[in-house]
Homo-oligomer: A and B are copies of this chain.
Amino acid sequence: MLKVPDHQVAGHQADRGKLGPLVDDSGRFYKPLQSDQRGDTEVAFYESFYSNTEIPGHIRKFFPGFHGTQIIEASDGSGPQPHLVLEDLVAGRMNPSVMDIKIGSRTWYPEASEQYIQKCLGKDRNSTSVSMGFRISGLKVYQNSEAGFWQPEKKVVYSFNADGVRSALRKFVSSNLSLDPDADPDCLYASTVYGHRGGILAQLLQLKEWFEVQTNYHFYSCSLLIFYDTESALDGRAHPKVKLVDFAHVMDGHGVIDHNFLGGLCSVIKFIRDIVDEDNKCAKCEVNLGLKENGFYKSNTEIELDYEAS
């Protein structure tokens, strides 16, 4: 049974009779194959990537699984259409918090048409891409069963400046958005999601190491998807993940590293590292104050017990 994905935050969406991706209940994600060169480029990338024996295993895990192409009924009612069959990255997660970050200060590539270059250049200049090396394309942050998700509108996300991006990266790991989205985010899950040993920061650093040497592919207009299980975050089992998606504009690297992607990736890393460092500083204060233990907040009862014992 195919349905519209629950947790897509950017890109074409298959709601209200439009053409977009679908998912099934076996963990597969069906992405309509764009009929122009983009579809061919994306299929060619997946085929090249998964047949390239030089890609290390710990790098493959950053990419969605690929199961070829398949003709299925398109979401817009236009009949049977070819789709890429990919891994549904958030399958099995109840209420994941998800952020889509388009990497690179430049989303255009020299071989593109002048019209395409100008269109991309305009978007890059009118977003944080040029200034920060990346832009947030969408996000949703789960709060709790009552408040559900905090998900700013597209036009809000698209108008983020540097402060907006910094704030969104803090809100992404915060628990106090449902009360007042303008309040100072508490970054309650910063250590569990970003700073944890296998967390987002560690994964991004692994990816960076590969981008410092790989010269096969240049990833234009490609997104970093980061997500975690908010409901388990307080128990330290947030299962934070980094994945790369959208390869309709991957070009041959011609023996040169993807300096455009790498620069943007390093910029994201710096922002996240700052949040982790800040959190570590706070955590030290809180450990000193007796509010935190083993990286997690104590319950009120525990704090009271400590108080009684003191």
Chain A residues close to B by CB (< 8 Å):
105-106, 110, 125, 130-133, 162, 166, 212-213, 215, 254-257, 259-260, 262-264, 266-267, 269-270
Contacts of A259 in B (CB 8 A): 105, 132-133, 263-264, 266-267
Complexed CA–CA distance, A133 and B260 (Å)? 8
**CB-nearest residue of chain B to A261:** B263
* Contact of B105 with A130 in the complex, beta carbons under 8 Å: no
Contacts of A266 in B (CB 8 A): 212, 257, 259, 262-263
Q: Which of B110, B133, B257, B263 contacts A270 (CB 8 A)?
A: B257
Complexed CA–CA distance, A267 and B261 (Å)? 11
Other than the given A257-B270, A260-B263, 7 more pairs (CB < 8 A) read: A110-B131, A133-B257, A213-B270, A257-B266, A257-B267, A259-B266, A262-B262
Complexed CA–CA distance, A257 and B269 (Å)? 10
CB distance from A257 to the nearest CB of B (A): 5
* Contact of A162 with B263 in the complex, beta carbons under 8 Å: no
**CB-nearest residue of chain B to A256:** B132
Secondary structure at chain A's binding surface: helix, strand, loop or mixed? helix
Interface centre among A254, A257, A264 (most CB of B within 10 A): A257
**CB-nearest residue of chain B to A166:** B255
CB distance from A250 to the nearest CB of B (A): 15
Contacts of A105 in B (CB 8 A): 105-106, 259-260
Complexed CA–CA distance, A260 and B259 (Å)? 8
Complexed CA–CA distance, A20 and B110 (Å)? 34
CB distance from A199 to the nearest CB of B (A): 19
Contacts of A256 in B (CB 8 A): 131-133, 162, 267, 270
* Contact of B125 with A110 in the complex, beta carbons under 8 Å: yes
